[in-house]
Structure 1
Amino acid sequence: MSTNEQAAAVWSGHVTDEEQPKAPIIIGVATGVGALLWLAPFMGLNSVLNPAKLAAIMGGAGAEVNNYLAMLGTLGAIVSTITTIIIGALTDITRSRLGRRTPWILAGSLLTAAVMVGLGLVNDRAHLWIFTVLWCLIQTFINMIVAPLIAVIADRTAPKHRGLISSVYAIGYIIGQYGGPVIGGFFMSDKNPGLVNTGYYALAVMMLLSGPVAAILMREKSSLGMPKKKFDGKVFADTFKFPTKGAADLYKALFGKMMINIAVTGFSVYQVFYLTSGMGADQSTAGKYISAMGVATMITAIIFAPLSGPVSDFLKTRKKLVAFSAVLTAIGTIIPFFYREPVSMVWYGVIAGIGAGIFFSVDQALNIEVLPNPENAAKDLGILNFANTGAQILAPVVGAILFNVLGGQYMPILPCLSVIALVGAVLVMMIKKVR
């Protein structure tokens, strides 16, 4: 077998069960740690530090901050949607000594960290346009980490191990998802407002580590021996087009996941305001309960994540578990609406955390199994990532609309988010080719 043939075999885009008798645990660890180190800083900014900084700049929480957050989320997510697909496609055709994915992951961690420092330096209304530009740049650069990192699981995991490896990945993702706001909460203080800026710089250090740590652990092979593609019109179309043949389940998974993420993101984006405006807590108290909720969510999710993936492999079902996780999210989301005390946020964390543990560990396996062509894994997973970026667009917009329609109140948003999560469960159950 020639060098090119060997490289093509290594980079076939998938691994069969026969070729991989043992689970590639190191791939789960590499992608999980990488996810933790990029997602925690992002969530700390998006969920806690950005709302707190903008409220300080604009003179308090209210419609102006809501509208700006909605605009910021919309612009950033539009940029993210486009760049995820483009970057994912480019990694599929990248040829380098470090492999297809590693160069992008390394560059993305460095550039994103630099922009985060820039965000921390914006402290007045006159420079909000800079804040907006920098946030859009973050959405671009962070996808240089996200798109290739997820594709590594598809590249190097056999079908029978996907639930297990997705569970390992999910542990890191969950810690980042819910630990990020916990870290962000430590930098909220009525007595020292400038502490928020310190939070941006601290989280930038975590982001900077994400690429190198993931690259060292996964040790991607060189892709220089892979056949190079002449970048003509046909290759361009094949690389960047949205799949149509045999892709119905991909789009059901996409929109089902998006509905679930809208519910989660809608809760996360406004959690500061649920506590302050909805329940009357001050900033310091809100920060403490956000941290407590994050810990509760993280603990329950971490308990259920490593269990759910192997259970999914054993039962040979993905969509039923993902749909069940959406139901749990809906139940947790509505609790603070009926019990309007700060401690209700912790109860949300417990119940939604169980749902998150199931969702994050099984959903990634479901995503891989609805791909119409594994050779274009990074690009098609980038399309599926629109479920995340679409939620970033729609959750603040839906929240702002509901806030205005419901008489300037935050709490009635919660039942609406519960219904949206249930719609996501129904769409996931409509998937046909995955059990």
Structure 2
Amino acid sequence: MSAAAVPADTTAALVQTPVTRGWLLGFAGAWFGFWLLMMLPGQFMVVKLASLIDPSEKVGVSSFLIAEMSIVVVLAVPLIGWWCDRSNPRFGRRRTWALGGFVTATSAFALVGIQESWQAAAVLLGVVAIGQSSVLVSLAAMIADQVPIEQRGRASAAMGIPQVIALALGMVIVTELVPQVGPSWFVIAALAMLAPLPFLLGFSEPRIDISPRPVRRRLQWSSANRDFAWAGVSRVLVNAGNLVGTTYLLYFLVDVLRLDDADSALMVLILVYLVASALASWAGGALTDRLRSRRVFVVVAAGLQVAAALTLAFSPAWTSSLVAAVLLGLGYGLFLAVDQALLTDVLPDETTRARDLGIVNSVQHLPIAPLVGWLVLAVAGYTELYVIAAVIMALGGLAVTRIRSVR
């Protein structure tokens, strides 16, 4: 039974009674399944697949496949968000789109690893991206729909902590437990499909009145719109800078540090990153709710990640890589705990939540990281790559200071 069950004609503004701990745990499980599908391809599985399909062009193939998924998400998320806002199935509009997205994404994901051409992999990854888009907009909108403002930091942490857990556990699975490429894609798909079921099937969704609203004759560019735009810019830049630095980390370990077992070394870095990120996300979620402050946490989070990137740029060694993993984990964990709460707080219109969040999430998935990585590594090296990553993340931290309606 839902922690926030209400009559069918109650509006979104009235259904935000406190959610239970069980709801938050189930919500975290749903995000865990999503992040398995979202994080592992870009961080490891696609680059590993590309190195088998075409070893001589592994950077180009992996960059194309990651960019292709990003482009599909950019196009699909706003449309799915618009449809999600306007649908009202008996099962629940957010739950319906989330469950359908998981089925779509995992069905295609399971088959990617057995492909022998990049073209076939690209088709399947496009289907995966469509399913990912449906899950993303529906789960993200649940925070705005059901979670009161005083719990949004914890809900944001429930969204963020599973990201690093999924990445770490997924890395253990695909590098140690199931290292074969084909079976690893199937195992991750199965786990991603099972993880959200307790939440999606066990908690009902409050019905929300979606009766037609009066059509606005003129777009009002209010302070709420400006704050929402700056929050979106901050999210896009911080995530892009983070991905610029992490997407090619496996190649950094191989080509720069020349480690004999780069796969295992990457897993160690991910585990260190996990511990730091989980601690920062848990503490950040509680603190941002208690202090009712968001912006300063985002600035600190960006600064920690800038320090991590500069450490890799100017001290390329194994020990400094461990230090960078701690800094990156602290910074990104803190960012994950606060960013979604901040973005939800500045949503300009309660009737278009999934659409508005979809727009931000679609822009967030513009293929900035693979394009920057491909261009920089084509003409320079990893020092320049990590310096550029630091600059992008620093700009993301500065962007959030432009928000005025939230502390």
TM-score after normalising by structure 2:
0.91
Cα shift readout 1:163-208 (whole Å, capped 9, x = no counterpart): 222223322233124443443333686xxxxx12221111111122
1:115 is matched with which residue?
108
Q: Distance in 1 between matches of 2:135 and 2:394?
A: 31
Q: Distance in 1 between matches of 2:220 and 2:377?
A: 37
Q: Tell me whether 1:199 sits opposite 2:192 in the alignment.
A: no
Cα shift readout 1:31-75 (whole Å, capped 9, x = no counterpart): 211111121233222211211111122124xxx322223322332
In 1, are the aligned partners of 2:98 and 2:135 still within 8 Å (CA)? yes
Q: 1:13-412 counterparts in 2 under 5 A? A: 13-15=12-14, 20=17, 22-60=18-56, 64-123=57-116, 127-186=117-176, 195-221=180-206, 226=209, 229=212, 244-245=221-222, 246-282=224-260, 285-390=261-366, 393-406=367-380, 409-412=381-384
In 2, are the aligned partners of 1:14 and 1:156 still within 8 Å (CA)? no
Q: Distance in 2 between matches of 1:42 and 1:119?
A: 14
Secondary structure, aligned partner of 2:382: coil
In 1, are the aligned partners of 2:111 and 2:186 still within 8 Å (CA)? no
In 1, are the aligned partners of 2:44 and 2:250 still within 8 Å (CA)? yes
Residue type at the aligned position of 1:109: F
In 2, are the aligned partners of 1:154 and 1:377 still within 8 Å (CA)? yes
Q: Summarize the Cα distance change of 1:174–1:388 in structure 2 as closer, same or farther, 3 Å threshold.
A: farther
Cα shift readout 1:305-339 (whole Å, capped 9, x = no counterpart): 12112211222210110111011011112222233
Q: Tell me whether 1:424 sits opposite 2:396 in the alignment.
A: yes
In 1, are the aligned partners of 2:210 and 2:351 still within 8 Å (CA)? no
Cα shift readout 1:266-319 (whole Å, capped 9, x = no counterpart): 12210110100111123xx11111111111111111112121122112222101
Q: Distance in 2 between matches of 1:243 and 1:171?
A: 36
State the superposition RMSD in angstroms: 2.5
Secondary structure, aligned partner of 1:317: coil
2:3 is matched with which residue?
none
Residue type at the aligned position of 1:89: W
In 2, are the aligned partners of 1:81 and 1:389 still within 8 Å (CA)? yes
Task: Report how far residue 228 of structure 1 moved.
Answer: 5.3
Q: Distance in 2 between matches of 1:66 and 1:243?
A: 45
In 1, are the aligned partners of 2:7 and 2:207 still within 8 Å (CA)? no
Q: Tell me whether 1:415 sits opposite 2:393 in the alignment.
A: no
In 2, are the aligned partners of 1:42 and 1:180 still within 8 Å (CA)? no
Residue segments in structure 2 that go unaligned for 5+ positions in a row:
1-5
Q: Distance in 1 between matches of 2:239 and 2:195?
A: 23
In 1, are the aligned partners of 2:29 and 2:196 still within 8 Å (CA)? no
In 2, are the aligned partners of 1:262 and 1:421 still within 8 Å (CA)? yes
Task: Report how far residue 89 of structure 1 moved.
Answer: 1.8
Percent same amino acid among aligned pairs? 21
In 1, are the aligned partners of 2:79 and 2:355 still within 8 Å (CA)? yes
Q: Distance in 1 between matches of 2:110 and 2:170?
A: 16
Q: Distance in 2 between matches of 1:242 and 1:345?
A: 48
Secondary structure, aligned partner of 2:13: coil
Task: Report how far residue 387 of structure 1 moved.
Answer: 4.7
Q: Distance in 1 between matches of 2:265 and 2:147?
A: 39
Q: Summarize the Cα distance change of 1:268–1:170 in structure 2 as closer, same or farther, 3 Å threshold.
A: same
Q: How many residues of Structure 1 are paired with residues of Structure 2 in the alignment? A: 401
TM-score after normalising by structure 1:
0.85
Secondary structure, aligned partner of 1:142: helix
Task: Report how far residue 218 of structure 1 moved.
Answer: 3.1
Cα shift readout 1:71-129 (whole Å, capped 9, x = no counterpart): 22332212101211111221112222211111111111111111112211212xxx321
Secondary structure, aligned partner of 1:8: coil
Q: Distance in 2 between matches of 1:286 and 1:93?
A: 48
